Structure formats: C-alpha cells, structure tokens
Amino acid sequence: MNEKVRCLIIGSGPAGYTAAIYTSRANLAPVLYEGIQPGGQLTTTTEVENFPGYPEGITGTELMEDLKKQAVRFGADVRYGIATAVDFTSYPRKVTIDGEKVIESDTVIIATGASAKYLGLADEAKYAGMGVSACATCDGFFYRKKTVAVVGGGDTACEEAIYLAGLASKVYLIVRKPYLRASKVMQDRAMQNPKIEILFESNAVGLFGENGVEGAHIVKHAGEPNEEKFDIAIDGFFLAIGHKPNTDIFKDQLNLDSVGYILTTPGTPKTCIEGVFAAGDVADPHYRQAITAAGSGCQAAIEAERYLSEKGL
Ligand code: NDP
C-alpha cells in the first residue's frame, strides 16, 4: 500500500534540510529522501567560509551534518532513497522511491540540486575511476605528490586547484578564456600558489595512458593562427566546469528552462503545479550558494505550510 504524508522533501542539501527544519517545526511531519548524494554538493567541497554564523569557516560535511541533526531534532523523517519517478498530474502528488515504493503527498518540495558537468570527451568515460574525477575532495587523496590538471576558471576550479596543490606536487589549471571567472580572492590564491600553473586560452581535447590517465592533449588558441598543440603529463584529470540541474524526472511534469532548471513564479518557490515547490540549485541558475539554497528551502517550507492551511489539509 502507498504511504501518505503531508510534506515530502526530495534532496538533502542546504535547501532540503532547511525545508525540513521549517516544516518539522510547523508540525507537517516531513519525510525527506536524501537522494544520490546525501548532504548534497557541499559534502564534496572543502572549507565553507561564506556561510553566515561560522566566523572560522566549517567543512562542507560538518555543515551538512549539523543541518541534518537540526532537522531530525524537530522530527523530520530523514530516509535513504532516490526519487525515480513523479506523477504530479493527480492529487495527492505521487513520488516513486527507488523504482518501487510510492509516496503520496499533499505537498512536495524539490531540492534535488545540481550535478557536475563533464566536457563530453570519450576519454572521460574511458578513464572514469582511473584518473578522471569531478570531485577533488573525494579523490584528491589518491594524487599525493603526483601531477594533476583541473579544468575550469570559476570559483570551483580555483578552490579545487588550491586544495589539490596541498596534496599534489603540481597542478595545471586549464582555462579556456584568457582570464579567470572566479572571485578576486580565489583568483589571487590560485595565481599566487607556486604549485599551480595556469594554462589560459587552452582546452583539453583528449587523455592518454595505458592503465589510467598519464597525460592530456591540450590545444592552445584553438582555431587561431597561433594555435599550439601539446601534451601535459598528468596522473589525474579533474573537472570543475559547472553543474547541471538534477531535473530529469521532472521534465514531463514541470516547466523547465532551456538548460533544465525548474521555472518558478518569480520571487517564490512555486512551480506550475499547486503544492509542488522547488528550492535551491535545482531552480537557481544565478546564485547557487549554500546560503541562498537554504533561504529558498525556508521559503518553500513556508509556502507548503500556507498551502496546507489554505486547503484545510
Ligand atoms: P562557473 O559556472 O562559475 O564556472 C565554470 C567555469 O568552467 C568557467 O570558467 C567556464 O568557462 C568553464 N567552463 C564551462 N564549460 C566549459 C567547457 N566546456 N570547457 C572548458 N571550460 C568550461 O561554475 P563554478 O562551479 O565554478 O561556480 C558555480 C557558482 O558557485 C558560482 O556562482 C560560484 O561563484 C559559486 N561558488 C562559490 C564558491 C565560494 O564562494 N567559496 C566555491 C565554489 C563555487 P567560461 O568562464 O569561459 O565560461
């Protein structure tokens, strides 16, 4: 038999847990499914220095453990499981967990976040788990005293390059533009780190190696008269080129933008379906910060509570 709840939260990043804290304190007895990556993207970052309330910084994992504890303290029912299908066409809304169990819910808060993007090179798949990674904090340990490359020029790429420089003997930062997009403070840290060599206006076009990554093929100034092709010897290849929203299961049910972000009524977490709300990175192509995700989780919780009370549910 299907289980029926008042508030189902999908996802366990800052948006999901904040929604759980608010909805549990409002006695909605929320059920939260953690998804593929319990704790979300912050569990794959190092130090979080910009979440208000932590003057000395905090690790992403600790921050997420604290948020989870806070949600559980007020009665949120946090469960392992992945939402594999949804049906928002009927009421109550239906969410299938792990392809089997169906949860019926009066309200659904979607906080499924976003996932790392890859370049799309065949070699990324070929060397998956053999030198290719999108998470320096998860895999950096394997590259102590080795040479690695990080692709990307944003805050994530700089952060990962700096983290890896603490372990590896050398880090190439492969940046397609002639400048870094990262914030000034991260740019400075990356540029001043003696172990980091930045290859501007460069693209990785392939990888090579016998039993794992041993190098990357680089093209500098592609398509220009001064185009250069060369190889770099590396043991690890890290992607840090942004993220895509985790919305595959919602694409036939909700309005999404051209990239796949859930479209909400501006300034609110309301989706095109009554009682279904979206919070955090899954609906935010602009800010994508832990604190903005947490804030929108709060908004979604308050909207869910209002919806239930207006409907007398
Ligand atoms: P961004 O979208 O900011 O940056 C992505 C980077 O990858 C850009 O340099 C982009 O190049 C490059 N890129 C994208 N696609 C390709 C490609 N196919 N080939 C080569 N390079 C590519 O993503 P981030 O993950 O860095 O950051 C996301 C958000 O999270 C930002 O708002 C950032 O500020 C924030 N953030 C904040 C942190 C902090 O404050 N501590 C830490 C990490 C992230 P181009 O510039 O040419 O588009």
Assess whether the previous peptide bond of 92 is cis (omega < 30° from 0).
yes
pLDDT class of 307 with cuts at 50, 70, 90: very high
- Percent of all residues in the chain with a pLDDT value above 70, rounded to a whole number: 100
- Residue 60 structure tokens: 């992403």
Please give the model's pTM, rounded to 2 decimal places: 0.78
Average the pLDDT over each of 69-78, 105-114, 135-144, 211-220 and give the range with the smallest value. Answer: 135-144
Task: Please state whether beta strands 114-116 and 243-245 pair in parallel, antiparallel, or not at all (unpaired).
Answer: antiparallel
pLDDT of residue 52: 96
pLDDT, position 43 = 85
How far out from the chain centre does Cα 175 lie? Answer: 21
Which of the listed residues 181, 188, 281 should we mutate to test ligand 1's pocket, taking the one with most ligand atoms within 8 A of CB? 181
pLDDT digits (tens, 9 = 90+) for 230-259: 999 999 999 999 889 999 999 999 999 999
One fold for 2-115+243-311 and 118-239: yes
Residue nearest to atom 34 of ligand 1 (CA): 155
Q: Is 46's pLDDT higher than 80?
A: no
Classify domain 118-239 by CATH number: 3.50.50.60
Q: Which two tokens stand for residue 17?
A: 């847990």
77 given a catalytic annotation: no
Residue with CA at minimum distance from ligand 1 atom 22: 241
Q: Looking at residue 149, what is its pLDDT?
A: 98
Query: In the numeric block, which tokens belong to residue 63?
Result: 């921050």
Q: Could you give the CA distance from residue 250 to residue 18 in angstroms, rounded to a whole number?
A: 22
Judged against a pLDDT cut of 90, whether residue 17 lies above it is answered with yes
What residue's CA is closest to ligand 1, atom 30?
A: 288
Q: Is 162 in the pocket of ligand 1 (CB under 6 A)?
A: no
For 157-216, what is each residue's pLDDT tens digit? 999 999 999 999 999 999 999 999 999 999 999 999 999 999 999 999 999 999 999 999
Cα separation, 273 vs 254, whole angstroms: 7
Residue 7 catalytic?
no
Residue 109, pLDDT > 80, answer yes
pLDDT tens, residue by residue, 135-160: 888 789 899 999 999 999 999 999 99
Q: What span, in angstroms and rounded, lies between the C-alpha atoms of 275 and 263?
A: 14
Kindly give the number of the ligand 1 atom that is closest to the alpha carbon of 203: 20
Share of the chain above pLDDT 90, in %: 89
**Per-residue confidence (pLDDT) for residue 42, from 0 to 100:** 87
Q: Report whether residue 119 contacts ligand 1, using a CB cutoff of 6 Å.
A: yes
CATH for 2-115+243-311 is 3.50.50.60
The vertex-207 CA angle with 203 and 212, nearest 5°, equals: 145
Residue 96 Cα to ligand 1 middle (Å): 33
Least confident of 24-33, 44-53, 96-105, 284-293: 44-53
What stretches of the chain adopt beta strand conformation (E)? Answer: 3-10, 31-33, 47-48, 58-59, 77-79, 83-87, 93-97, 101-110, 114-116, 132-133, 147-151, 170-174, 196-199, 202-208, 215-220, 228-233, 236-239, 243-245, 276-278
Q: What mean pLDDT is predicted for residues 28-41?
A: 95
pLDDT recorded at residue 30: 98
Q: What is the structure's pLDDT at 128?
A: 87
Identify whether the C-beta of residue 173 lies closer than 8 Å to the C-beta of residue 197.
yes
Q: How many CB atoms lie within 10 A of CB 114?
A: 23
Domain boundaries, the chain: 2-115+243-311, 118-239
Average pLDDT, the chain: 96
Q: Distance between CA atoms of 36 and 80, rounded to whole angstroms?
A: 9
Residue with tokens 């309301």: 270
